[in-house]
Chain A
Amino acid sequence: MITKTLHVALREFKATVLTKGFILGVLIMPFLMMGAVPAAMLLVSRTPPAVDGSVAIIDRSSDAQPVAAALTQALSPASIETWVREQTEETTEQATAAVKKVAGDIPVPDADAAIKTAAASIVVPKVQSEVLPADTDEKPAKDALIGGDPYDGSRLALIVIHPTAVNKPDADENFGGYSLFIKKGLDARVQGMIREKTRSAIFEARAAANGLDPVRVRTITRIDAPDTVTWTEDGEKSSGEAAQFLVPVGFMLLLWISVFTGGQYLLTSTIEEKSNRIMEVLLSALSPMELMSGKIIGQMCAGLLILVLYSVLGVSSLIAFQQSHLVNWANLALLVVYFFIAFATIACMMAAVGSAVNDIHEAQALMTPFMLVLIAPMLLMMPIIMNPNGALATTLSFTPLINPFVMVLRLSSSDPPPFWQVGLSIIIGAATVYVLALGAAKVFRIGILMYGKPPNFATLVRWVKMA
């Protein structure tokens, strides 16, 4: 009777979603993550720590040592402080923008003040430059990097400018560069600062050697990359290349999370009912098929709740960032269709395995072959997105068990598949579910009354054949 199945489904749904674990894990997590992103951007500073030490320079480019001169100037305390301030301002501006994007119209009165406070409290690394003669032996110069720490005034780095870094003997050859040797444990941000300043010093020396004004050359060669703009029926829409990857990945992760969360709950609840010896009590009131169907429907609703909730959050975010054109509403509808197929596929496996084992450890062993298959779309995600209509993507779209995940990736990619492929993949998915449901029902009927030694995969197959 359908009523009994629905009673089981309702209990299963309530027992899952009305738990602290579900509410905290599934419902609150997205909100925490939304807040965590700008917070992390504020916390992660690009400015280097307050190291204290020297940077030795061996300039072999020419006798005049033009690079060493420019580098000494660039590593002066005043120059470093200016550079650190610029970096801090850039970071805080990006953080402000992120906070304001998330907050929308909600005023954030303390944000600017907090950023100003952060900018005021910067620390400037103490670096002294030390120009060594051009013919200095590198070995002892490098040995000076050994011992001490980056805060005790010892040598932090050795920069060796190559002989052809500024002037090259042959016009067809490339310029030389520089070698950088550092003290063990030197902060990556300090390394970055040294690299940037060295690159800049070489550039200035080359410009001067060629009679060019470095400022003018910088101005001439600078071209800011524009934001890509998609032209739609509604006019201009910004479309970063990253978004074209993020949307398919987002869609698939959405499907993956909702399906596997619901599936995992189904597995654990089945094992729990079995270990609590409640199965036979239930079987006195309904058939194994009614029980299994009810459990699957109940957990499907829990998975659907996650899907809908996360979809609403995702779409709301895109609308808030004026990126709603990235979402195809027909794809959202198809996402729900593929959710039902994917969930039913996983649920049949979870119900069968859950009924056959005594605890979660036995289940993990039995689930391994299935999980290896189901993890395939995750591993092949990038090749599918890069070439959504290639042979690999097309073949996997018609491969049972994984085709819902692959199709969701392809549908939301820049080049969606033809309609007939969508239809065929749905038919294959539905057929897979039908076959799996028949097998799962047989395993479930035998498994729920079995205790003791857990069955292996071959035993499950035997149950399917004998039942």
Chain B
Amino acid sequence: MPNAVSLQSITKSFGPKIAVSDLDLEIPEGSLTGFIGPNGAGKTTTIRMIMSIIFPDSGELSVLGKSSAVESKDRIGYLPEERGVYKKMRVQAFLEYMARLKGIDGAGLSTAVLTWLARVGLADSARKKCEELSKGMQQKVQYIAAVIHNPDLIILDEPFSGLDPLNSRLLRELIDEQSKSGRTIIFSTHQMVQAEALCDRIVMIHQGRKVIDDSPSTLRAQFDPRALSVEFESDTEPPNLRSLHGVDSVLSHGRWLELRTTAGVTPASIMPHVAALAPTRRIEVLRPSLEDIFIEIVQSSGDASDSAALRDKLRTPAGVGARSEGAGD
């Protein structure tokens, strides 16, 4: 399958800060790729280079078969992290304006806009000024502006930030629809759960470098589970649990315990022995989350940061504060 996006040895610096370093990336056509990493990892910078909003210092780049997105902007839908609307413009007029900028015009435009507004539950907001909409509603309008011209490639930078659970679910459905209709989708997020739920491909970036590039299932297969989740009927921990052969450590999470196994011992192999110690309500193998995988990779690559700090970094929502020249995260 040909690639919708291809990056080869891309490097971008802002002054002394290297935002993206020697990045290779290939996004096959029709794939739904999650671009994940903590704030400041280089996600937005990479996306902006794909969009030709900023340009790499070195390396080769190809988007939809062209050497630059400039030549195929009308085939790309982009929802940037820094997104807004014309506050004084009416919603329908704003969407029609954006569609015209994407090369869509003609009699069917108004109908297309109204259909999209109805699809996201904003049918009665067409004549409202954008400033009258809530932040979540504005975000849905911005999403429509990104996809109204039926692009072949859709790039969404932190599309879920600021959305309530209901609207997050709606957006997931919309992204899923676009994916099923064969479009290539790249979306960046710091929420690993969203990426795990949606993507058929995960690219993880840390400090400007790619640390993961695979499907979620392959990733999980690569990173064998090495822990059990156990909930005993009694509130007290069985006395011989920690001295059980193959148990490396026991972490308490309130009502349940996390048992980490020593190297070479599978969680499944010690499961009967744990169950024999005391009656259990629940016992299951703990599958590693993307977050766990990310932390393991970063730590194995020599990063001195401890797990808690890395988890905090991953869970902090992307900010909109001061930043250096052109650099997002």
Q: Which residues of A contact B (CB under 8 A)?
A: 1, 3-4, 7-8, 11, 15, 273, 276-287, 446, 449-453
A285 touches B84 (CB 8 A): no
Partner of B325, one of A7, A280, A450: A450
Partner of A278, one of B76, B85, B320, B321: B85
B73 touches A286 (CB 8 A): yes
- In the bound complex, CA of A280 to CA of B98 (Å): 12
Partner of A280, one of B53, B76, B86, B97: B53
Chain A: CB-nearest residue to B149: A285
B53 touches A449 (CB 8 A): yes
- In the bound complex, CA of A275 to CA of B98 (Å): 18
B325 touches A285 (CB 8 A): no
- In the bound complex, CA of A100 to CA of B54 (Å): 64
Known A-B contacts A4-B101, A8-B101; A277 and B51 likewise in contact (beta carbons under 8 Å): no
Partner of B84, one of A277, A286, A453: A277
Known A-B contacts A281-B142, A284-B146, A449-B326; A276 and B321 likewise in contact (beta carbons under 8 Å): no
Known A-B contacts A276-B85, A450-B326; A281 and B100 likewise in contact (beta carbons under 8 Å): no
B51 touches A284 (CB 8 A): yes
List the B side residues contacting A450 at CB < 8 Å. 325-326
Chain A: CB-nearest residue to B328: A449
Known A-B contacts A7-B97, A286-B101; A281 and B83 likewise in contact (beta carbons under 8 Å): yes
- In the bound complex, CA of A441 to CA of B78 (Å): 23
Known A-B contacts A4-B101, A7-B101, A452-B321; A277 and B73 likewise in contact (beta carbons under 8 Å): no
List the B side residues contacting A15 at CB < 8 Å. 86, 88-89
A278-B83, A287-B70 given; name 13 further pairs at CB < 8 Å. Answer: A7-B100, A7-B101, A15-B89, A276-B85, A276-B87, A280-B81, A283-B51, A284-B73, A284-B80, A449-B54, A451-B320, A451-B322, A452-B321
Chain B: CB-nearest residue to A6: B100
A284 touches B78 (CB 8 A): yes
Partner of B82, one of A280, A285, A453: A280
- In the bound complex, CA of A280 to CA of B321 (Å): 16
Interface of B is mostly: loop
CB contacts under 8 Å to A, within B298-325, are: 320-323, 325
Kindly provide the distance from the CB of A8 to the nearest chain B CB, expressed in whole angstroms: 7
Kindly provide the distance from the CB of A1 to the nearest chain B CB, expressed in whole angstroms: 8
Kindly provide the distance from the CB of B226 to the nearest chain A CB, expressed in whole angstroms: 42
- In the bound complex, CA of A330 to CA of B77 (Å): 50
A276 touches B322 (CB 8 A): no
Q: Which residues of B contact A (CB under 8 A)?
A: 48, 51, 53-54, 70, 73-74, 76-78, 80-89, 97-98, 100-103, 142, 145-146, 320-323, 325-326
A281 touches B97 (CB 8 A): no
- In the bound complex, CA of A8 to CA of B88 (Å): 16
A285 touches B321 (CB 8 A): no
- In the bound complex, CA of A287 to CA of B84 (Å): 18
- In the bound complex, CA of A4 to CA of B85 (Å): 18
Kindly provide the distance from the CB of B138 to the nearest chain A CB, expressed in whole angstroms: 10
List the B side residues contacting A277 at CB < 8 Å. 82-84, 320
- In the bound complex, CA of A277 to CA of B54 (Å): 17
Kindly provide the distance from the CB of B56 to the nearest chain A CB, expressed in whole angstroms: 14
Known A-B contacts A284-B76, A286-B73; A452 and B323 likewise in contact (beta carbons under 8 Å): yes
Known A-B contacts A277-B83, A452-B321; A446 and B101 likewise in contact (beta carbons under 8 Å): no
List the A side residues contacting B77 at CB < 8 Å. 284
Can you give 17 contacting A-B residue pairs, CB < 8 Å? A1-B103, A3-B103, A4-B101, A15-B89, A276-B84, A276-B85, A277-B83, A280-B80, A284-B78, A284-B80, A284-B146, A285-B74, A446-B325, A449-B53, A449-B326, A450-B326, A452-B323
List the A side residues contacting B88 at CB < 8 Å. 15
Known A-B contacts A7-B97, A446-B325, A451-B323; A281 and B102 likewise in contact (beta carbons under 8 Å): no
Kindly provide the distance from the CB of A305 to the nearest chain B CB, expressed in whole angstroms: 20
Kindly provide the distance from the CB of A270 to the nearest chain B CB, expressed in whole angstroms: 13
Chain A: CB-nearest residue to B100: A7
List the A side residues contacting B102 at CB < 8 Å. 285
Kindly provide the distance from the CB of A282 to the nearest chain B CB, expressed in whole angstroms: 7
Chain B: CB-nearest residue to A8: B101
Kindly provide the distance from the CB of B227 to the nearest chain A CB, expressed in whole angstroms: 42
A281 touches B70 (CB 8 A): no
Chain A: CB-nearest residue to B155: A284
List the A side residues contacting B53 at CB < 8 Å. 280, 283-284, 449
B73 touches A278 (CB 8 A): no
